[in-house]
Amino acid sequence: MAYDTIMVFKDRFKNHILPEQIHILNVAFLVPEMRREYGGCAGNIAYNLHLLGGQPLIMATVGDDFAPYSTRLQNLGLAQTHIRQVPDSFTGQAFITTDLDDNQITAFHPGAMGHSHLNSVAMAQLEFADQNIPFVFDPGQGMPMFSGPELLRMVEQATYVTVNDYEAKLLQDKTGKTLKQIADRVKALIITLGSDGSLIHAGGKEYAIPTPKPAAIVDPTGCGDAYRAGLLYGIQAGWDWETAGRLASLMGALKIASRGGQNHRYTRAELAALYQHHFGSRITL
């Protein structure tokens, strides 16, 4: 769970960062637009699962400043049973600067997340593995914190692995394994490719998932979380990988048309109709 402070740089980072001077990087970006949004992977995924009719249970540690977010969850009807407040700490804070190419530079203060060990199961995937509970390993931007052997051990314990294309390359570099070797260790390896869709490696096959054209490209923040919510919904429903992947892709495309990670609003009927419109087949939500 986190608050996202999102700033928009009305230019492109590449015009202000000189590759040959990266070792003495010292840049400042004027960001006339700034807003604060409710975010965090758990919050964003839960929000999208809620739109789909799921009943997610959020497990997280939060700080003394969590009251506004708590009120929001209560109004949405999302359970807070497994959210633990850590005294004298901040809720996680992400400071995100986005340029005109939708590239992002993010500074993240984990705050209460640094005490996640106080909340049973939170961030302790060994508990899932020990209990034979299926789970997704999604290292995200935290991947640099782990060594190659640690990442490989986590992959081997996981049921599914999700990464974006950059993270997929980093995962290969750090573990010394190819995508096929990684995919062979899990039920599915899912790689998101932004506007180019996603690839799902499962059962020795590769499924290319297209991305619907979004109504507008407004803010990429939370698109990956929306995708993962659709993926989780499809897995839980027992759908085939193409159907689950397309729902995931649709959720990401719908999110990018609004600001923040939790401001898009659709009914289940609307989501099902949009799925049929973009992919020509029906789903039941």
CA distances from 203 to 80, 139, 157, 184 (A): 36, 22, 17, 8
Q: What is the pLDDT of residues 100-113, one digit of tens each?
A: 887 888 898 999 99
pLDDT at 25: 84
Residue 121 in this model has a pLDDT that exceeds 80: no
d(CA 8, CA 6): 7
Buried b (16+ CB within 10 A) or exposed e, 99-126: beeeebeeeeebbbbebbeebeebeebe
Residue 59 in this model has a pLDDT that exceeds 80: yes
DSSP 257-273: TSSSSS-----HHHHHH
In the chain, pLDDT over 90 holds for what percent of residues?
Answer: 77
Residue 125 in this model has a pLDDT that exceeds 90: no
Q: What is the pLDDT of residues 175-191, one digit of tens each?
A: 999 999 999 999 999 99
Q: What is the pLDDT of residues 232-244, one digit of tens each?
A: 999 999 999 999 9
d(CA 214, CA 200): 21
CA distances from 155 to 138, 185, 200, 237 (A): 9, 7, 16, 23
Q: Which of 243, 237, 225, 226 is nearest to 281 (CA)?
A: 243
Using alpha carbons only, what angle is made at residue 234 by residues 229 and 239, rounded to the nearest 5 degrees?
A: 170
Strand segments, DSSP code E, in 86-125 are: 92-98, 104-109
pLDDT at 122: 52
DSSP-derived secondary structure letter, 143: G
133 band by pLDDT with thresholds 50, 70 and 90: confident
Which tokens is 141 given? 């931007």
Residue 199 in this model has a pLDDT that exceeds 80: yes
Provide mean pLDDT across the span 71-80.
97
d(CA 113, CA 186): 27
Residue 181 CB partners (closer than 8 Å, separation 6+): none
209 band by pLDDT with thresholds 50, 70 and 90: very high
pLDDT at 127: 74
d(CA 78, CA 64): 19
161 band by pLDDT with thresholds 50, 70 and 90: very high
Among 100-109, 156-165, 168-177, 251-260, the least confident range? 100-109
Element (H, E) at 229: helix 223-237
d(CA 193, CA 171): 15
Q: Are strands 198-202 and 205-209 parallel, antiparallel or unpaired?
A: antiparallel
